[in-house]
Structure formats: C-alpha cells, structure tokens
A and B are shown apart, each in its own frame.
Chain A
Amino acid sequence: GQQLNQSPQSMFIQEGEDVSMNCTSSSIFNTWLWYKQDPGEGPVLLIALYKAGELTSNGRLTAQFGITRKDSFLNISASIPSDVGIYFCAGHNNNDMRFGAGTRLTVKP
C-alpha cells in the first residue's frame, strides 16, 4: 500500500479559488512528482522536483520539494473547471516509486 500521506482527501472549491495540497513521508525521497488523473485515464505528469527546497511552476501550478526531503506541496491558483480530477503525489528513489492516495478536486463554476 501507499507509504505517503496525502491531504486533504478531497476538496470542493469555487472556480477562481486557490488550492493547496500536500504530501508527507516517513522516508526520504530524491525526487517528488505530482500527477493528475482523470477518470478512466492514466496519471499525467504535472511537475517534477529533483532538489530539496526546489520551487517549480507550471502555469497556474506551483510545487515545492521540502527541505527535509520528506514532504512536498502543490498549489493551484485561480482554479478553473478543467482542474477537476484526482491529484497524486509520488516520491521516487532509483527504481522505487510510492504514491499517495490522491486528492480529489471538485471545482464549482
């Protein structure tokens, strides 16, 4: 099973609001990844983080690799309806990748 604690499990927000979700681990990871998954599809990579303390943006998305290498967060600014989906964090070391259980995001127009 998952060894990453991802929160919150679900969020219901109004279009235009900002969103924040995070992931913590008892283990250190060399890489943190954030994916989005739509129903019936595979996860799509949003942001990859490779260095502790790194802050990376991809459009309205911003993610940070925690200094302790045991956590990461993802922010979405000015949410839009197409942001709906399940967001997964993943910690990666060499051949080992572990996923959180996901944050289900609902955006009300």
Chain B
Amino acid sequence: DTGVSQDPRHKITKRGQNVTFRCDPISEHNRLYWYRQTLGQGPEFLTYFQNEAQLEKSRLLSDRFSAERPKGSFSTLEIQRTEQGDSAMYLCASGRWGIQETQYFGPGTRLLVL
C-alpha cells in the first residue's frame, strides 16, 4: 500500500455515459498526477496539479476529459460521453515538489466501455 487510494477500482459503462474517478493522494504531497495505461504499455501522462492548480495537460486529454482538485487534496477525473477507446487503466500518482521528487502510484481504476 503506497498510501495513494483510488475509487472505484473497476468501472464498466456503456458508450456515451459519463464516468468519474477519485484519487486520494498521500496527505503531505502537493503534486498529483493522472496517467492512462493501456495493455502492454507504460503509463502515459494526462495532467497534473500542484496544490489546487492544474499546471499541465497532455494533448491526450481531449475536451471530454476534465480533472479537478478543488481543495488541493483529493482529485477527480471525469470522462464525458465515453467511447470504447477510453477503455484503459487510469492511474493516479502523488509526489512532493522539490529536489528528488518521486511519484507514488495508486492501485488504478480499470475502465471498460462497452
């Protein structure tokens, strides 16, 4: 257990539905990252927050994706109008900005869009 939790662990939805995932980072960490991982690949960066500010978004993050971290603690990732290509593992990681930063991952949310 890395101390990063994600909910739900699994989600099955129908194409066109909206889904929301939650990540609770390690409490003293001010940075929170979202990644997407497909089968046979390493995680791919989606976006990250420093405290409550969203500082960078990957071009992988289409307009249907939105992430928030309203109080600088937990974060949510919402996917609107899901498509079959959204099926993947969504990983959250937290870290503390500064020298020797390291990212600790949660267990992930596996999404299947039917």
Contact = CB atoms under 8 A, between A and B. Distances in A.
A44 B42 contact: no
Interface string B19-50: 00000000000010100000011111100100
Contacts, number: 65
Contacts of B55: 95
B44 A99 contact: yes
A44 B2 contact: yes
A11 interface: no
Contact of B103 (A1, A4, A6, A97): A97
Interface in B98-114: 99-108, 110
Interface string A76-95: 00000000000010101001
Given A31-B100, A40-B110, A97 B105 contact: no
Nearest to A4: B42
Contacts of B104: 45
Nearest to B48: A95
Interface in A26-66: 31, 33, 35, 40-45, 48, 50
A43 B2 CA distance: 10
B44 A1 contact: yes
A1 B100 CA distance: 25
A42 B45 CA distance: 14
Looking at chain B, what size class is its interface with the partner chain?
20 to 34
B105 A44 contact: yes
Contacts of B56: 95
A68 interface: no
Interface string A1-40: 1101010000000000000000000000001010100001
A101 B31 CA distance: 24
A96 B45 contact: yes
Contacts of A102: 40-42
Contacts of A48: 100, 102
Contacts of B67: none
Interface of B: 2, 4, 6, 31, 33, 40-45, 48, 55-56, 91, 93, 99-108, 110
